[in-house]
Amino acid sequence: MLTRRVLVVVLWLFWSAPAHAAIVYSLEDLGTLGGTFSDAVAINNAGEVVGAAAPVGQSSPGGAHAFLYVNSKMMDLGVPFGTSSAAVGVNSTGQVALFSSGSAGERSFLYANGVSVDLGDLGGSPTEAHGINDAGQVVGESNGLPFVYSNGAINASPLGQRGTISYGINNSGHIVGSIAVTNTVTGQIETHAFLYSNGATQDIGAPFGGTISIARAISNSGNIVGGSVPGGFLYSDGKVTIVDPQGGAYGVNNLGDVVGVDEKFGAYLYHNGTLSNLNDLVDPSSALKLAAALGINDSGQIVGYGYTASGDQHAFLLTPIPEPQAVALLAAAGLLLRRRKS
């Protein structure tokens, strides 16, 4: 009983200890599939990463293949249609949403266990997937209409109107994206970020006072991020927070940590009300200049892309390095347990 009480105290000290001014990350260049280009866009809580990478002889997204990065290896998911493909999301079971395109159009697929299943379409091309949840539901756009793929069938989403694009879906089935609305004062058509939940569509508006905004991602806790000229925002509990006045927000986790792109310095992290240049949080001798942060999981791992000294674009994975104070506290807890057992 004494050991348990001491352990509880140690863990309480660990979680309540004040954070240092900066979070430090280890940086991993994920490489390519043999070419000179790669781009990571999403990561699940198991640390599995998806995106697109160029095979041998290719140097641009036009000839890239969708990839799944797992167990320190980049797996080529192939090109199920056309001449190129790109993965856009991965869920907790390792299912991957991707789209594939060529001169004949664009189609979307759900990849699992080595097989890519065509999602179908809403009467024509293009069909482009954008997001996936743990139930394997995929959202995107097909033939100018928003869609939801669920239980093996593609259907027009409940939003069901042209000019609407669905970018993200969480485990509760809540959908975010952009929707065309009419300004009641000017009569002009505007594009606004939206949240669809419980059968109703909520216009998030344009947080910077303009006419265009996009919601790009939603976490399972309901945190929403996106962009509105000229910057990025976080929408949570009915409140809009400007996280970066000169960029865009692309990824968010259940804790409310946001990642995105600042037009001046590149990849950023918004954590506990502070905006940080991710290039300042890695080893300054790192081989990549971090240009865009596009996804973050609940462990704080971040993915995106950066540039090598020669100008090639490579996907990256950042993993938080435990602070010395935290390591010492956890080591003390382990020592107490060992003494108790002996």
- Location of structure tokens 């996936």: 132
Same domain, yes or no, for 15 and 117? Answer: no
**Same structural domain, 39 and 29:** yes
Residue 21 pLDDT: 44
Count up the domains in the chain and report the number: 2
Q: Please tell me the predicted confidence (pLDDT) of residue 273.
A: 95
- Residue 201 has a pLDDT of 92
**187 and 215 in one domain?**
yes
| 334 and 206 within one domain | no
**255/333 same-domain check:** no
204, containing H or E segment: strand 200-205
- Segments forming the whole domain that contains residue 16: 1-20+323-342
- Whether 75 and 178 share a structural domain: yes
Contact 275, 23 (CB under 8 A): no
DSSP state of 21: S
Minimal CA–CA distance to 173: which of 204, 134, 206, 208? 134
CATH label of the domain that carries residue 308: 2.120.10.30
> Whole-angstrom Cα distance, residue 159 to residue 165?
9
Structure confidence at residue 117 (pLDDT): 98
Dist. CA 244–CA 247, nearest whole Å? 6
Closest by Cα among 233, 317, 316, 319 to 270: 233
**What's the pLDDT at 66?**
98
Question: Residues of 25-36 as b/e, b for ≥16 C-beta within 10 angstroms?
Answer: bebbebebbebb
Same domain, 296 and 199: yes
- Going residue by residue through the chain (342 aa), what tens digit of pLDDT does each one get? 444 444 444 334 334 444 444 569 999 999 999 999 999 999 999 999 999 999 998 888 889 999 999 999 999 999 999 999 999 999 999 999 999 999 999 999 999 999 999 999 999 889 999 999 999 999 999 999 999 999 999 999 888 677 789 999 999 999 999 999 888 888 898 999 999 999 999 999 888 878 899 999 999 999 999 999 879 999 999 999 999 999 999 999 999 999 999 999 999 999 999 999 999 999 999 989 999 999 999 999 999 999 999 999 999 999 999 865 444 444 555 554 455 555
- The per-residue pLDDT for 10 is 39
| pLDDT confidence of residue 311 | 96
Residues 109 and 251 in one domain: yes
Question: By the 8 A CB rule, do 311 and 287 touch?
Answer: no
- The string of pLDDT tens digits covering residues 251-299 is 999 999 999 999 999 999 999 999 999 999 999 999 899 999 999 999 9
Q: Are residues 206 and 146 in the same domain?
A: yes
